[in-house]
A and B are shown apart, each in its own frame.
Chain A
Amino acid sequence: GAVVSQHPSWVICKSGTSVKIECRSLDFQATTMFWYRQFPKKSLMLMATSNEGSKATYEQGVEKDKFLINHASLTLSTLTVTSAHPEDSSFYICSAMGGRPLHFGNGTRLTVT
């Protein structure tokens, strides 16, 4: 069964609103979680690395005020897309690591209208 749960699996929102995506490790404690973005026909792009209890480390070119990441517990990390715009429409995937191979969530399809 799935060891990393990502929710929601898809969401449609209006431009200017904020959307929160959750990533949970179901049967292990994830000290580190990663957030990726997948553009159509492109690879996964690492957005940020999230360590429990500390600030996320963002990759170059990723706006930290736009993509807020919180890793408040060892089983939950959230990504909030603030003031979403149509260009933020994408597929977002999280992965979690904690003493075992990296496991990925099923992804969230975000569509901003």
Chain B
Amino acid sequence: GDSVTQMEGPVTLSEEAFLTINCTYTATGYPSLFWYVQYPGEGLQLLLKATKADDKGSNKGFEATYRKETTSFHLEKGSVQVSDSAVYFCALSDLGSSASKIIFGSGTRLSIRP
């Protein structure tokens, strides 16, 4: 079945460092890909998404490009801030199915030092 694999955390960086969180997926169809973020004490929020190959999703300085050839959707940010400390989930959804359920990766906890 469909699955998502993302790098294990925790990831600890200094402020203004470059961030990459790797994510790869396995899917039988042509899924949409997502990054969700969970700030401490809050629910999940959609950070960005891409619906087809070579699409780039971006939001709040974060970017991820849908790479079909490598089945990847790595999350990047050029200069992280303390406020970016959160848990990040890579996810996919096969919008061709009626349920359109989302399959999540295991999450990566990011901590940014001032």
Interface residues of A (CB under 8 A from B): 4, 6, 32, 34, 36, 41-44, 46, 49, 57, 93, 95, 97, 101-102, 104-107
Chain A residue numbers with a CB within 8 Å of B105 are 43
Pick the interface stretch among B40-48, B65-73, B76-84. B40-48
User: Contact check: which of A41, A42, A97, A105 meets B43 at CB < 8 Å?
Assistant: A105
Q: Do A107 and B107 touch (CB < 8 A)?
A: no
Q: Are A42 and B103 in contact (CB under 8 A)?
A: no
Asked if residues A104 and B44 are in contact (CB atoms below 8 Å), the reply is yes
Q: Which residues of A contact B110 (CB under 8 A)?
A: none
Query: Which of B45, B100, B104 is the one whose CB lies under 8 Å from A43?
Result: B104
Partner of B46, one of A34, A36, A102, A107: A102
Cα-based distance from A77 to B10 in the complex (angstroms): 34
A104 touches B45 (CB 8 A): yes
Residues from chain B with a CB closer than 8 A to the CB of A4 are 43
In the complex, which residue of chain B has the Cβ closest to the Cβ of A97?
A: B100
Separation of A46 and B103 alpha carbons in the complex (Å): 8
Does B104 contact A106, Cβ atoms closer than 8 Å? no
Q: Is B89 part of the contact surface with A, judged by Cβ < 8 Å?
A: yes
A101 contacts B46, CB within 8 Å?
A: yes
CB <8 Å contact, A106 and B42: yes
For B107, the closest partner residue in chain A by CB is: A43
Residues of A within 8 A of B49 (CB): 101
The docked-state distance in angstroms from the alpha carbon of A106 to that of B105 is 19
Q: Can you list 27 pairs linking A and B with CB atoms under 8 Å apart?
A: A6-B43, A32-B100, A34-B101, A42-B106, A42-B107, A43-B89, A43-B105, A43-B107, A44-B44, A44-B89, A44-B107, A46-B101, A46-B103, A57-B99, A93-B43, A95-B102, A97-B100, A101-B49, A102-B46, A102-B93, A102-B102, A104-B36, A104-B43, A104-B44, A104-B45, A106-B43, A107-B43
